[in-house]
Structure 1
Amino acid sequence: MYNNIWENGNIYLIRLNEERIWGVDFMALSFKKSMYFALAIAAMIGTVGFTTTNASARSYARITSNQALQTAPQNRNVTTNGTNALYTKAGTLRGARMLASKNTLQQYGSSKNSSQYFRAYRVATTSLGAVYYKIVSFNGVYRGWIYGGRVSGNFGGGLNPANTMANANLPLQKKGYTLTNPEKYTLWVDPKWSQYKAKQVDMSTYNASDTFTITDAAVKTREQYLYYKVTDDNNSAIVGWVYAGGVTAPNSQQATNDNSVKINYVNAAGQSVGAYTWIIQKTDLKAEATLTNGAKLGDILENATQLTDIATKNVPTGYKISSSQNPTNLPANVTIGTNDYLIYVDAITPNFLSPVAYYLTNTGQQINPSQLKDNTYPILTDAQMTIFSSQTQGTVPAKVFDNVLFSDPNKLSSLTGTSVKNADGTTTTPIYYFNKQATVSANANAKYGDTLKLYYTMPQR
């Protein structure tokens, strides 16, 4: 059963259980072309047997529910995919006006600029059973309603869930950083443009001599800019995210053969897996001792075991100091600038690895390999699977699902289904998009070692 709606110079066919499916803007056409279109439509309706009401009846959808979204703001970040336009109200309501075309929203969706993400903040359901979301662009240019599928709480239709940031590796050196230019590269509560209305950290009590410790790292999904989360060592109230180019490592690029010791981390086979250069400060020295090439640490350091402390704190990620092999030299016998201080390390072997399974958001049913292209799930390397592993059987944190694998179209950001031949001879290939919101909710109590359920949504058109 179909209903035709005359609205704003357009005539639309609306299936009674769906939203607007197509329309023609007769106002934009010449009289001659308008007549051709009208005749073509009449012929089509007669051919396929559509039952329509009179356009003069002016049938419109109506809103049956309209409420604010209550989920965490970061779980309501979305991108637009260009399949639906943005309107002043749900698109099939009386008087709805277009604010942004499908083409504009497709450009926003494929943009490399984080300011062109959207935040969803209200959801409405129409009498035709369609779900609309009210969204606003991070840059504030667009605000309106867009078709979002037929399941409230799941982003479909013209929207896809968005992960604005992805996890990144921490640097080996984590302490003693300074801000290079706080006015240009200041701290943010969330990295700039990673959240709607991201705010700067209050730096009124910051002192130019303050040092910072890096506690987390992430990259912007679109621009791939690296950010560090840092805490002021002298003022714990100052904590936030800063662009990696806005911090300077302690004594960076000042190491010489007269003031430093290179710590080289090697595996059991003697292969280097990382290194750290420790620059010795004058405050570390005994009274009247001097830094010079070849000087023994035991002779000049106030604390002869300090090298061990430094080496332990800067072990490369994924490794631990070996319990079976000792360093090649005693710390007190290590000399400045002459030879590397070798530390043996072992790779950390995860004890609890969570397998993953794939599910459809709309139905809750598991996606079988036979439903996917090439009859297989995404192939992940052992290294990539480590994001689902831990040495302890603790609760799996939600940030696991921010990993860059979930924004990689060749990995976990989407699944390509098997192609289906339509009745008219055309072929449709379904694409299922990762739904972070549903995944985080489904795994809220999951522990490492449990099967993690990854949810995917196929946009409704």
Structure 2
Amino acid sequence: MILNLKKSFYFGLAAASMFAASGLLTSNASAKSYAKITSNEVMQTAPQNRNVTTNGTNALYTKAGTLRGARIIASKYTLQRYGSSKDSSQYFRAYRVATTNRGAVYYKVVSFNGVYRGWIYGGRTTGTFGGGLNLANTMGNSDLPLQKTGYTLSNPKKYTLWVDPKWSQYKAKKVDMSTYNPGDTFTITDAAVKTREQYLYYKVTDDKNSAIVGWVYSGGVSAPDSQQATKDNSVKINYVNSAGQSVGAYTWIIQKTDLKAGASLSNGAKLGDILQNATQLTDIATKNVPTGYKISGTQSPTNQPANVTIGTDDYLIYVDPIKPNFLSPVAYYLTNTGQQISPSQLKGNTYPILTDAQMTIFSSQTQGAVPAKVFENALFSDPNKLSSLTGVTVTNADGSLTTPIYYFNKQATISANTNAKYGDTLKLYYTLPQR
């Protein structure tokens, strides 16, 4: 009996040891190491510098994706569609930043339309957007119209004023129009184009009430003279370079107040016969020379203003490119490392090719400070120019191919050129998203 008890006791110990070992192995096999948050802060940078797009390389989570319990809110596919969207309401705004004990940076973001809110991997460096995010320029610069004063609102209920153009910022607000009087005239002070939709907006100020100032869709304002150009009332001014190539044009609509007593507008009429002052055409042509050019000092117009006819002749006038006194060369840098990007790192082994006219944005007749607005030019939103740089395709260890894309980082560029003057080399920063 004692012997049987001993055998039973030893058998129980062995079985218990086996189960314990089995449980321990099972625990080790299923255990997963999760990351921990080491910092979580509200972002303090200017809101407009925290507008971002998603590129589809990372999903959106309820918390940092490597934390225990993180669940997907929006898939990579959804975020890729938002990133390539032509709808400005599908931009995102970053407003919190967190880091993990593994060195990963996560941003909390919300879509402009309010549909998605959550955390997304943003690289390994705070202050820059990488990983699943790219910095977004929601608006690009545009040229002011030649006529800047005397505008009226054509339909204030449909096209009202905004503090920032609608969907160009998160929770963009309408301007308080309670003191607006119908018929008030406005002056245009700025112009911008929505990067995604390419809608033109004007910044306007009420001439009778300076408290009413904001952005309005260009189709929502009426010019002081809405007369349309026809073959019976206009002359086309064609600006050409020394080689005879057109570099711009302007259509002058002749007003009845410009006419001699008893004269009338009609196709084929000579300006010298009907205008009080035939040289008025020269004045109009001089005021509307295309940006970056000046009236030629060596080549004269092909016709005398008095002999130009309405609706029939183009007034051909020669212009020369303006050579700025202070032209800033540009250099390309990688935000992630601070190192300069060499041409050999880029597709075609060359930097973006800009025309002389495009390079004028980096030039000035005086050696003044370079304003931050320079880096909001439409060239920085153009994928064929400066919005991104395509790297040389590389072969990975597994045989797959990767083509790196460097995205323009406006925030880092503005910071790097805070003290730059025209004539200095301007540093353009680009971010290579971390994968």
TM interval, short-chain normalised: 0.7 to 0.9
**What are the within-5 Å matches in structure 2 for residues 60-459 of structure 1?**
60-253=34-227, 264=237, 273-277=248-252, 280=255, 292-293=264-265, 296-297=275-276, 314-320=288-294, 347-459=321-433
**C-alpha deviation, 1:285, in angstroms:** 11
Q: Which amino acid aligns with 2:122?
A: G
Residues 264-300 of structure 1 show CA distances to partners (whole Å, capped at 9, x for unaligned) of 4756879874335355487x999xx7885465537xx
Amino acid at match of 2:55: N
**Cα offset for 1:241?**
1.6
SS in 1 for 2:188: strand
Alpha-carbon distance in structure 1 between the residues aligned to 2:323 and 2:209: 36
Q: Secondary structure at the match of 2:38?
A: strand
CA offsets 1:356-381 (integer angstroms, 9 cap, x no match): 11111111111112222222222222
Change in CA separation of 1:193 and 1:240 when aligned onto 2, cut-off 3 Å: same
Task: Tell me the SS of whatever aligns to 2:348.
Answer: helix
Equivalent residues of 2:140, 2:377 under 8 A apart: yes
Contact 1:131–1:149 (Cα < 8 Å) also in 2:
yes
The alpha-carbon deviation at position 435 of structure 1 amounts to 1.2
Equivalent pair of 2:189/2:205 in contact (CA under 8 Å)? yes
Q: How far did 1:419 drift?
A: 2.5
Contact 2:259/2:276 (CA < 8 Å) preserved in 1?
Answer: no
Structure 1 unpaired stretches of 5+: 1-51, 299-303
Of the structure 1 ranges 429-438 and 272-281, higher mean CA displacement relative to structure 2 is found in 272-281
What value does the CA root-mean-square deviation take over the aligned residues? 3.4
CA-CA distance at 1:307 after TM superposition? 8.6
User: Which residue number in structure 1 is paired with residue 8 of structure 2?
Assistant: none
Deviates more, 1:167-176 or 1:183-192: 167-176
Query: What is the Cα deviation at residue 316 of structure 1?
Result: 4.0
Cα deviations by residue, 1:95-151 (Å, 9 ceiling, x for unpaired): 222111111111101111000000111111001110000101000111111000000
- How far is 1:335 from its partner? 11
Q: What amino acid does structure 1 have at the position aligned with 2:156?
A: P
The Cα offsets for residues 314-348 of structure 1, whole Å up to 9 and x where unpaired, read as 554334567889999899x9999999999886543
Cα distance in 1 between the residues matched to 2:406 and 2:312 = 58
Contact 1:261 1:335 in 2 (8 A): no
Percent identity of equivalent pairs: 79
Q: Whole-Å Cα distance in 2 between the matches of residues 326 and 251 of structure 1? A: 31
Moved more, 175-184 or 360-369: 175-184
Is the partner of 2:172 in helix, strand or coil?
Answer: coil
Residues 62-101 of structure 1, C-alpha deviation per residue, up to 9 Å, x if partnerless? 1111111121111111000111111111111222221111
**Distance in 2 between residues matched to 1:306 and 1:178, nearest whole Å:** 27
Larger displacement relative to structure 2 (376-385 or 61-70): 376-385
TM-score by length of 1: 0.76
Q: Which residue of 2 aligns with 1:31?
A: none
- Contact 1:122–1:135 at 8 Å: present in 2 too? yes
Tell me the secondary structure at the aligned position of residue 395 of structure 1: coil
Contact kept? 2:236, 2:313, Cα under 8 Å: no
1:236, distance to aligned residue in structure 2 (A): 2.5
Quick one: structure 1 residues 344 and 89, their matched pair in 2 at CA, closer, same or farther if it must change by over 3 Å?
same
Distance 1:413 1:132 in 2: 24
Residues 131 and 271 (structure 1), Cα distance of their counterparts in 2 relative to 1, 3 Å cut: closer
Flag the structure with larger Rg: 2
Could you tell me which amino acid in structure 1 is paired with residue 406 of structure 2? Y
Counterpart contact for 1:265–1:315, Cα < 8 Å: no
